[in-house]
Structure 1
Amino acid sequence: MAQDYFVYDLAAFHGLTVLRNNDPTKNLYPSLSSPPDLIISHNPDHDADRRFIGLWGSESPVAVHLHCQFNYYMSRDDPHAVAKFSNRENIRFALAAADLIMVPSNFLADELRQSGLSFRPNAHIKVVSNGARQSLYYPSNSKERARFKDSFADTTRLHPHARQGKIPMDQKLVGFVGRLDDSKGLQLIQNVARANAAGSLTDTCLLLQYRYQAGPTDRGVGKEYEDCRRKAEFTRTISPRFVWLYADSCPRAPNRPMRHFDILLLPSLSEVQPMVVLEALSCGVPVIATYATKYFDELESKLTSHEFKKVSFVSKRLNGGNGGILSLEETDNPQQTAADLVKAMESISIPDDDARIALSLKARGLGYSDARMYSEYLACYEAAIELFQQRSLSAGQQKGRQ
């Protein structure tokens, strides 16, 4: 049961079977005639995973990946409250059934241990850091970066956007990668664009990279893509000489835009261990991020202020990212947080080729590679099977005593 691309890679190399929920309206995976050798859930918040674990979890080992802050699902004060409550209960169910639980950061492991949630008596919680795909995310050189900036004059590469013109060679290129909505910091991005229109960041351009695929736009992911496109184009109208757009129709294609950024901007409201940050560091690109996860405290201790800069929210309720908050209110003072992001962008200079290589090597040394991640996943899956065997033996002995 899988969500992220690396799960499919792992399956391809090691013979695991990935079940896909081909009919989301039914929330079901394909039926099996016998218990699987191992259940791996990457979507413990989904109804389909809960039903599958409920069907086979007593007869098979269960390994659960938790990529979200559990507290994110605790708030009911937003339009998605009912869905979030259902997601929360699905997570409770999966964690209670798991032999082994994997989380990507130490703070999340600590929160789970202190949460009061129910776990199996011998269940283990294991921290396995995410890792960037090294074949896609590695440092660029100055000539490659110049060609990338030139490429924005080519309309064939920029569908569905009109010609934008070359990105000026002497401009610092700050990049954003992700979904364009308030939970990912769209309000802050637009306030940064307004600050530029008012005279800030005159030596900087901002590239918004978002997932896009042509197709029906009235439902599902097609509607989400079209919504992102509209939001992107509106943001560009705020400051057309500052904002450039990149509709990413093939997110696993080579020569990722990330390689050519001078800074990655991550203005999210809630994260755990965002993959995009690890991808930037693997490219040797410095990161500026809002304090959307306690993981950033750990990262801040490992990197210099020119490699990673954490910007706290003005509103304390947002710091740490675990409040289940999906958008900023005026009382959160998003204008001041955006101003702090602007100052952070001004404080980091354009990294040269040597600085990028050094930061990339540092990231690899910290373990942020896909190869290390895959290796640790496999070890965890083996451990889950051993824990299940202990569970089965203990259950058999208990039944015998009865």
Structure 2
Amino acid sequence: MKVLLNPRTAEAYGQDFLAKTLGEKCELATLTAVNGAYKGCVNDLKLVVSMNLDEKTDSDFVCALPKHVKTVAHVHCCYHFYSSTQKANLCAALHRVNIGIVTAEFHKRELARVFPKVDWRVIHNGIDIARYSVATESERCEFRQRLVVPDGVKVVLATGRLENAKGLQVLREFARKMSDAELVLVLQFPANSSRAKQAYEAIANELRDVAPRQVILYPDTDLSTVRPIRFADLFITPSLSEVAPLVVLEAFNAGVPVIGTRSTPFYDELSSCDIPTGAYTFVPFPPEENLNVERKDLVVTDSTASHLAETFIQLTNTSPISTYSQRLNLSQATHTAGFFQDAMLAGFKKIYDEALAITGT
């Protein structure tokens, strides 16, 4: 029996949204935690896949597995990003892992320095190309009409958890300083559970109150609906720390240019992937900012937040709106570079099969 561990009942992080597809396409049964533990017999297990080895639930389960059971771990965050507790969970269980999977070359090098005995592999993130397809002009017009966006005003989208690690400080400054810009900021934030609503709804309302005529809230209550990134003119990502963010690849696949912070060395890898250089602009952080810290400590100074917001606004003002042909070209380049879901899942399945074929204990 091959299983995928699932410590949460509601999607909260990027890997959670992949779990269902991963289980179906790679023939993994989902084992969901009950009251913080995985129940059931482990005698029939042959392969265990964890996407959350920093969670105590997954770590404890993997540590207790019989030696004949093969294990594969997907690691999604830079090591410094984890809390001390998460690091302890990761360290405890990685000695039991046969193969580790990451999504960027720099991340493989980083983790190999910390955990040299793990066989690390790189499989790039892949996008559901149908779900994030390039919108037609009529679809874009319909979206603008629904949001009551005037002609000549750019639709700028920001998406994700409204927290400091994701650039909340910069978003606040952006909203405060955007009054002279011909744009609306569409804030897509998680609202698919009561926990998510409680965490982010008040913050979203606060951001809208700063610029009520230009900030449009887009609570993401139903994850199966059409994705708004398809209709945006620009996508901004002010995050302070990333590995290989799915949201950026989703924007590329939808043909939408990206303005962001240089929050990951993965962005340096894009030039070798033939993604058009005009499709993205990543603004560096001032050298005095130390961002190699735990998630809870990830903040920038007020002056840095202000500077980044001003730079983002300037870039959004000067960035031309892509033609339909340009959006198609960017989407095709993303596909050619291998950032599509079928390629990713095929890579995962190959590694799972390799793990199963490992002999000995």
Q: Which structure carries more strand by proportion?
A: 2
Counterpart position of 2:11: none
Q: Tell me the CA shift for residue 380 of structure 1.
A: 0.7
Q: Tell me the CA shift for residue 35 of structure 1.
A: 4.5
SS in 2 for 1:277: helix
Alignment of structure 1 residues 328-343 onto 2, 5 Å:
328-330=299-301, 333-343=304-314
Say yes or no: does 1:232 pair with 2:198.
no
User: What code does the residue aligned with 2:239 have?
Assistant: S
Separation (CA, whole Å) in 2 of partners of 1:195 and 1:57: 58
SS in 1 for 2:229: helix
Counterpart position of 1:396: none
Alignment of structure 1 residues 134-145 onto 2, 5 Å:
134-145=129-140
Q: Tell me the CA shift for residue 386 of structure 1.
A: 2.2
User: What code does the residue aligned with 2:28 have?
Assistant: L
Separation (CA, whole Å) in 1 of partners of 2:151 and 2:352: 48
TM-score, normalised to structure 2, is 0.91
Counterpart position of 1:4: 16
Counterpart position of 2:12: none
Whether the 8 Å contact between 1:315 and 1:333 is mirrored in structure 2 is no
Change (3 A) 1:207 1:57: farther
Counterpart position of 1:186: 168
Match of 1:40 among 15, 40, 49: 49
Separation (CA, whole Å) in 2 of partners of 1:70 and 1:327: 14
Alignment of structure 1 residues 2-401 onto 2, 5 Å:
2=6, 3-23=15-35, 27-56=36-65, 58-73=67-82, 84-115=83-114, 117=115, 119=117, 123-152=118-147, 166-197=148-179, 199=180, 201=181, 203-213=182-192, 222-253=194-225, 255-300=226-271, 302-318=274-290, 322-324=292-294, 326-330=297-301, 333-387=304-358, 389=359, 391-392=360-361
Q: Which has the larger radius of gyration?
A: 1
1:107-165 residue CA offsets vs partner (Å, 9 max, x unmatched): 000111222x362xxx421100011112210100111011011123xxxxxxxxxxxxx
Q: Tell me the CA shift for residue 285 of structure 1.
A: 0.7
1:82-120 residue CA offsets vs partner (Å, 9 max, x unmatched): xx21110111123221111100000000111222x362x
Change (3 A) 1:204 1:21: same
State percent identity of aligned pairs.
Answer: 27
SS in 2 for 1:56: coil
TM-score, normalised to structure 1, is 0.82
SS in 2 for 1:333: helix
SS in 2 for 1:317: coil
Q: CA RMSD of the aligned region, Å?
A: 1.8
User: What code does the residue aligned with 1:124 have?
Assistant: D
Whether the 8 Å contact between 2:25 and 2:345 is mirrored in structure 1 is no
Whether the 8 Å contact between 2:60 and 2:93 is mirrored in structure 1 is no
Counterpart position of 1:155: none
Structure 1 residue runs without a partner (length 5+) = 74-83, 153-165, 214-220, 393-402
4+ residue stretches of structure 1 with deviation over 4 A?
A: none
SS in 2 for 1:288: strand
1:137-194 residue CA offsets vs partner (Å, 9 max, x unmatched): 0100111011011123xxxxxxxxxxxxx12232111101111111111110111111
Separation (CA, whole Å) in 2 of partners of 1:57 and 1:128: 27
Separation (CA, whole Å) in 2 of partners of 1:317 and 1:384: 41
Separation (CA, whole Å) in 2 of partners of 1:251 and 1:168: 27
Q: Tell me the CA shift for residue 252 of structure 1.
A: 2.4
Whether the 8 Å contact between 1:300 and 1:308 is mirrored in structure 2 is no
